[in-house]
Amino acid sequence: MSDPLDSLITSDNEKPNLELLAKIINKFIRFTPEGEIIEDKPYIKLKDWQKVLLFLLARKVIFIKKLKKEFKEEISPKVISENTCIKYNTVTKVLCSQLKGVTKSINGKHKIPNYNLYKCEELIKK
């Protein structure tokens, strides 16, 4: 007999909902075949915390699609800042406030676990 509580347990290894991931970033970001992130016009109007969220989701796409070799999804706040042109202090604040509970920190590097894509969808609508 199986334990009905087993269906409530999830992990980072859970497969991402690719349709949901594409839906979340579709109107904001595209990619070159080499894995470069291209921000579309609506992206410019977003708040810094939304840009950080979308940047982390874009890294998930690059990782899943293997657009870059030896690419890790996790990234430090400093490198997020360098890539998004958002001040480092703002990035760290965003990760500790608006994106707290959405991102996961592993040795000081952040990523969005696949099981949090639904949270991301709700946040980006705001």
| Tens-place pLDDT, residues 32-60 | 999 999 999 999 999 999 999 999 999 99
- Domain for residue 32, yes or no? yes
- Domain for residue 68, yes or no? yes
Which residue range forms the structural domain that includes residue 31?
15-125
- Domain for residue 2, yes or no? no
- Domain for residue 4, yes or no? no
What does the DSSP 8-state code read for residue 107? T
| Greater model confidence, 7 or 23 | 23
Coil, helix or strand for 29?
strand
Coil, helix or strand for 106?
strand
Mean pLDDT, the chain, rounded, equals 93
* CATH code assigned at 85: 1.10.10.10
What does the DSSP 8-state code read for residue 15? P
Confidence category of residue 1, pLDDT binned at 50, 70, 90: low
- Domain for residue 39, yes or no? yes
Overall number of domains in the chain: 1
- Domain for residue 106, yes or no? yes
Note the pLDDT of residue 52.
Answer: 98
